[in-house]
A = this chain, B = another copy of it.
Amino acid sequence: MQNPIEQMANELGKLPGIGRKSAQRLAYFLAAQPKENVQRLAKALLEGRENLKLCSQCGNFTTGERCQVCADYKRDLSTICVVKDPRDVAAMERIHDYRGLYHVLHGVLSPMDNIGPEDIRIKELISRLADSQVKEVIIATNPDIEGEATASYLARLIKPMGITVSRIAYGVPIGSDLEYADEVTLLKALEGRREM
């Protein structure tokens, strides 16, 4: 039989951001915990995964048919914010300012990783836009190569439908120090300057 500690560490090490050392540390920690605690953790993970599905409209995680945002009749149906994954929906919701809907792509275009338009939820977005009252699509993919490529691709598809396509602003993050901003960010911040 394989060493149970190693088995635990192997599985924990598959989690993102958890290296071999951290995985072993966690395995030892769990081995020394009361059984109830480990059972509670395992149960939360199993049940969590079991109960979560994708919202039939936007692709966000949900326990029902529609996610909380899509099911909220007070949201603004004329705006859709396109994000890479459900975590980004949570990030946007935390600012408590955006009142429109979302569309979760579950990935971005990445030729390097063999991820093309068919592999992410672009078809669903287009058909959703086709029969809707959406006036603006805000593309909030990450400001990196894949996020940019995805944004351009979507803009080319959506603009001809007569829908405004916008992109979230680039710039220096609040609370940061100009001195440490990378040059591209600073350039974008300069380009995007607004009159005060």
**Interface of chain A, helix or strand or loop or mixed?**
helix
Q: Contact: A16 with B25, CB < 8 Å? A: yes
Number of copies: 2
User: Once the chains are docked, how many angstroms separate the CA of A87 from the CA of B30?
Assistant: 12
- Produce 1/0 per residue, A15-47, CB < 8 A to B: 111100010111111111101011111111111
Residue numbers of A with Cβ under 8 A of B are: 1, 3-5, 7-8, 10-12, 14-18, 22, 24-33, 35, 37-52, 61, 63, 85-87, 90, 106
Q: Contact: A29 with B49, CB < 8 Å? A: no
Q: Contact: A48 with B17, CB < 8 Å? A: no
Q: Contact: A5 with B52, CB < 8 Å? A: yes
Q: Contact: A48 with B86, CB < 8 Å? A: no
Q: Contact: B48 with A27, CB < 8 Å? A: yes
User: Once the chains are docked, how many angstroms separate the CA of A62 from the CA of B85?
Assistant: 42
User: Once the chains are docked, how many angstroms separate the CA of A10 from the CA of B63?
Assistant: 17
Contact A32 to B90, CB < 8 A, known contacts A8-B45, A14-B37, A38-B45 = no
* A-B CB contact pairs (8 Å), 19 listed: A3-B63, A4-B61, A4-B63, A8-B48, A11-B44, A14-B37, A17-B25, A24-B87, A24-B90, A25-B87, A27-B48, A28-B85, A30-B48, A30-B49, A31-B86, A33-B49, A35-B49, A35-B50, A38-B46
Contact A48 to B14, CB < 8 A, known contacts A25-B87, A87-B28, A106-B32 = no
